[in-house]
C-alpha cells in the first residue's frame, strides 16, 4: 500500500489522492505536463492504475528511464507515433473495458486523430469508464479544455456530459481525475470548480489568471488569494502553488521534483541533437492485442482500413466444416477436395500472421491447446425440442441450476459457454426476454414460470450445495482459472497475494494470461480483489445459507 505520492521534497500527497480531482494549470512551457507526469510516476511506483489522455503525443516517455537508456514503467501506449498498437475513433468502449477489466496502466495517444475523431473516441470511452469502473483508478486528461470547453457547440453536449459525470460523481465509482490545461479560461467552469486540488504554475494571460481567480474565490480566503494571484505571472518554471482548502487544508508553494522517466514533453532546442531513448519497459502486447481484437467496436472500419474480421469469420466457418467432416466416413472426406482446400486457406491466414494462433484459439475453444470451454453455438443452430435453440436452453439451464437465487448476465453467459458481448448471446437473450422466459431486474436475472415450463417445468427439489456450486463453475472455466479458483477455495475466507496465487496456478503474476484468468473470475463474481490480495467470494456459500 502506498504511503503517499511525493511530488516535491516538501510535499507528499496521501494515498487516497488516486480518487481525488486535480486541476494542473499553467501557461505553455511552464511545466504543467512535467508536473502531471511526476504525479503519474508516483501512481505507477505505488502500483495504482491510471490512464492518460494525450492529444499532443508527449506522454510516451513514461516507458523509459530519465536518461533514455533503461526502462521506465510498464505503461501500455495505444495510438500515436510511439504507440504499441494503433488507436482508432471507434475503440472507445473496447479500451475502457480493457482498462477496467485488466487494470493495465496506459497512455491513450490521440495525436494522430482529427479533433472530431478524438471527441468521438472520448465520448464513448468516458461514458463506458464511468458506468463500468468500480475500483480505484486515476484518469489524467491533458489539454482538458479540448473535451470540456467553456464554449461548446452542437454535437459536444454528450462529451461534456460524460466528462462532468467523471469529475462530479466519478469518486463514488473509484475514479479520480487530473485536468491539465494551458488555457483555464477555455476550460468549462462547471468542471474546473469541482477540482479538490489546484496546482497552479506560471500564468501570464490576464484571462487565464481570472479563470484561476474564479476557483480561488469559490474555495479560498482573501489573504491566500492575494498571495497566489500576485505571484502567478512571475513564478519560475517548475514552481507551483498547491491549494486544497477543503480536502488537504493545504496552501503551499513547492518546487516539483525531477522526473524519473524520460521527458518526452520537453521542447526541442535549436541546434541540439534530439535524444532518442533506447531502452523501455516491456509490455505483453500479444495479450493486449488478443483482448482488443475480441472487443466490440462502435462501427465497421472505414473503407480501405486493414481488417481481419472477415478472415476470422471465415476461419471459424472452416473449422466448423472440419469438425463436420471428421464425423463423416473417411471415404467421403477423401472424395471432397473442397473441404481440404478451404481449410488450408484458413490455416495459411494464420501462418501469414494475419491472425494469431492465440486469437484463433480464443475464437474457437475446441481447437487443440485451448484448455476448456466448448464453442458457442452459431446463431442459426438447430432448435432444441420445444422450439428453443440449444444455446438458449443452456442459458435457461444455467438459471435453473441456481434457483432460487438470481445470477448476473455475465455469470449466465459464462455458464452457458457464451461470450456476453457476442451477437449470438445477445440474440438468444433477446428471444428469451421477449418470450417472457427470464426476467432481468437491474443486473440480476432469474427464470420465470414460463421459463421453467419451456424446459420441462423441472424446478430443483433442493438448492445447490456448495460442492455443487464449485463443480458447476469448474465445468465452465478454463483449466488455469480452475487452478486459481481451487487455490482460493482451499483457504477461503483467507486472502492470497497475487504472486502466491499465480505460483499455485503455475503462472507468472505479471503475465497477460494470469491477468486474463483473474479478470474472468472477477467479472463472474467468483473472487474479490483488493490491491495485491485476492480471495474467493461468498457466492459459494450463498446457496447453503439460503437453504
The total of structural domains in the chain comes to 4
Any domain includes 375? no
Burial class (CB in 10 A: 0-12, 13-18, 19+), 52: buried
106-109 and 76-78 strand pairing = parallel
What is the CATH classification number for the domain harbouring 526? 1.10.10.10
Radius of gyration of the CA atoms of the chain, in A: 27
State how beta strands 239-244 and 50-54 pair: unpaired
The residue among 289, 323, 353 that closes a domain is 289
DSSP letter, residue 447: E
Shared-domain flag, residues 233 and 314: no
Q: Supply φ then ψ for residue 472, to 5 degrees.
A: -60, -45
| Residues 181 and 98 both lie in one domain | yes
| Domain-located, residue 299 | no
CA–CA gap between residue 250 and residue 207 (Å, rounded): 25
The answer to whether position 44 is within a domain reads yes
pLDDT of residue 331: 37
**Same structural domain, 313 and 339:** yes
DSSP secondary structure, 126-181, as one string: HHHHHHH--S-EEEEETTGGGTSBSS--TT-HHHHHHHHHHHHHGGGGTEEEEEEE
Same domain, yes or no: 124 and 213: yes
pLDDT recorded at residue 358: 39
Instruction: Tell me whether residue 206 is in a domain.
Output: yes
Residues 250 and 332 reside in one and the same domain: no
The domain boundary, picked from 454, 479, 513, lies at 454
Residue 472 and residue 450 in one domain: no
Say if 448 falls within a structural domain: yes
Same-domain status, 282 and 312: no
Q: 138 with 160, same domain?
A: yes
Tens digit of pLDDT at every position of the chain (547 positions) = 347 899 999 999 999 999 999 999 999 888 999 999 999 999 999 999 999 999 999 999 999 999 888 899 999 999 999 999 999 999 999 999 999 988 999 999 999 999 999 999 999 999 999 999 999 999 999 999 999 999 888 889 999 999 999 999 999 999 999 999 999 989 999 999 899 999 999 988 888 888 888 777 766 677 888 888 889 889 999 999 999 988 999 999 999 999 999 999 887 665 555 566 777 877 878 778 777 765 554 444 343 334 455 555 556 666 665 655 555 444 333 333 334 444 454 455 444 444 444 344 444 433 333 333 444 444 444 444 456 888 888 898 888 887 777 888 888 888 888 887 777 888 888 888 888 888 887 678 888 888 888 887 667 766 678 788 888 888 888 888 889 999 999 998 899 999 999 999 888 888 878 888 898 898 888 998 888 899 998 877 654 444 4
- For residue 504, give its domain range: 466-546
Q: Do the domain assignments include residue 368?
A: no
Q: For residues 349 and 279, is the Cβ–Cβ distance under 8 A?
A: no
Whole-number Å distance between alpha carbons of 349 and 354: 6
The CATH number of the domain holding residue 223 is 3.40.50.300
Domain boundary among 289, 315, 335: 289
pLDDT confidence of residue 301? 39
pLDDT at 430: 84
Q: What pLDDT is attached to residue 305?
A: 39
Residues 191 and 283 in one domain: yes
Residue with cell 477543503: 246
Same domain assignment for residues 428 and 475: no
Q: Is 352 within a domain?
A: yes
Does 235 reside within a domain?
A: yes
Is there a single domain that holds both residue 277 and residue 188?
yes
Same domain, 477 and 434: no
Amino acid at each position: 500500500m502506498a504511503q503517499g505520492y511525493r511530488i516535491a521534497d516538501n510535499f507528499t500527497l496521501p494515498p487516497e489522492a488516486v480518487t481525488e480531482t486535480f486541476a494542473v494549470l499553467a501557461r505553455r512551457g511552464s511545466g504543467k505536463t512535467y508536473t502531471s507526469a511526476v504525479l503519474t510516476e508516483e501512481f505507477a511506483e505505488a502500483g495504482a492504475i491510471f490512464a492518460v489522455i494525450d492529444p499532443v503525443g508527449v506522454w510516451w516517455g513514461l516507458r523509459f528511464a530519465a536518461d533514455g537508456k533503461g526502462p521506465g514503467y510498464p505503461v501500455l501506449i495505444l495510438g500515436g507515433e510511439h504507440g504499441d498498437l494503433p488507436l482508432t475513433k471507434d475503440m472507445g468502449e473496447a479500451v475502457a473495458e480493457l482498462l477496467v477489466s485488466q487494470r493495465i496502466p496506459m497512455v491513450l495517444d490521440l495525436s494522430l486523430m482529427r479533433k472530431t475523431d478524438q471527441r468521438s473516441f472520448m465520448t464513448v470511452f468516458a461514458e463506458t469508464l464511468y458506468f463500468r469502473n468500480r475500483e480505484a483508478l486515476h484518469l489524467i486528461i491533458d489539454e482538458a479544455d479540448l473535451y470540456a470547453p467553456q464554449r461548446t457547440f452542437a454535437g459536444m453536449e454528450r462529451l461534456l456530459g460524460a466528462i462532468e459525470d467523471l469529475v462530479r460523481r466519478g469518486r463514488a465509482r473509484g475514479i479520480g481525475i487530473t485536468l491539465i490545461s494551458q488555457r483555464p479560461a477555455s476550460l468549462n467552469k462547471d468542471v474546473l470548480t469541482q477540482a479538490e486540488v489546484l496546482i497552479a504554475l506560471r500564468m501570464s494571460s490576464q484571462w487565464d489568471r481570472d479563470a484561476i481567480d474564479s476557483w480561488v474565490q469559490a474555495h479560498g480566503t482573501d489573504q491566500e488569494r492575494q498571495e497566489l494571484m500576485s505571484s502567478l505571472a512571475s513564478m519560475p518554471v517548475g514552481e507551483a502553488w498547491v491549494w486544497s482548502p477543503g480536502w488537504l487544508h493545504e496552501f503551499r508553494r513547492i518546487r516539483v521534483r525531477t522526473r524519473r522517466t524520460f521527458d518526452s514533453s520537453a521542447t526541442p532546442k535549436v541546434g541540439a541533437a534530439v535524444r532518442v531513448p533506447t531502452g523501455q519497459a516491456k509490455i505483453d502486447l500479444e495479450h493486449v492485442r488478443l483482448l482488443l481484437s475480441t472487443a466490440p467496436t462502435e462501427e465497421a472500419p472505414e473503407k480501405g482500413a486493414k481488417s481481419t474480421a472477415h478472415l476470422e469469420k471465415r476461419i471459424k466457418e472452416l473449422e466448423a466444416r472440419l469438425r463436420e467432416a471428421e464425423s463423416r466416413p473417411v471415404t467421403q472426406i477423401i472424395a471432397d477436395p473442397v473441404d481440404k482446400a478451404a481449410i488450408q486457406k484458413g490455416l495459411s491466414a494464420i501462418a501469414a500472421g494475419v491472425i494469431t494462433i492465440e486469437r484463433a484459439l480464443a475464437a474457437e475453444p475446441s481447437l487443440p491447446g485451448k484448455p476448456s470451454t466448448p464453442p458457442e453455438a452459431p446463431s442459426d443452430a438447430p432448435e432444441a425440442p420445444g422450439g428453443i435453440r440449444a444455446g438458449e436452453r443452456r442459458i435457461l439451464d444455467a438459471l435453473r441450476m441456481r434457483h432460487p437465487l438470481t445470477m448476473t448476465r455475465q455469470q449466465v453467459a459464462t455458464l452457458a459457454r457464451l461470450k456476453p458481448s457476442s451477437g449470438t448471446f445477445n440474440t438468444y437473450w433477446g428471444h428469451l426476454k421477449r418470450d417472457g422466459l427470464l426476467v432481468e431486474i437491474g443486473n440480476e436475472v432469474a427464470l420465470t414460470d414460463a421459463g421453467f415450463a419451456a424446459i420441462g417445468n423441472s424446478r430443483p427439489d433442493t438448492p445447490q450445495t456448495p460442492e455443487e456450486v464449485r463443480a458447476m463453475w469448474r465445468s465452465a472455466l478454463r483449466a488455469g482459472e480452475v487452478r486459481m479458483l481451487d487455490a482460493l477455495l482451499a483457504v477461503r475466507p483467507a486472502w492470497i497475494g497475487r504472486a502466491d496465487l499465480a505460483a499455485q496456478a503455475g503462472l507468472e503474476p505479471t503475465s497477460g494470461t494470469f491477468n486474463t484468468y483473474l479478470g474472468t473470475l472477477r467479472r463472474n463474481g467468483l473472487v474479490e480483489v483488493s490491491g495485491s490480495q485476492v480471495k474467493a467470494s461468498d457466492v459459494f456459500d450463498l446457496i447453503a445459507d439460503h437453504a
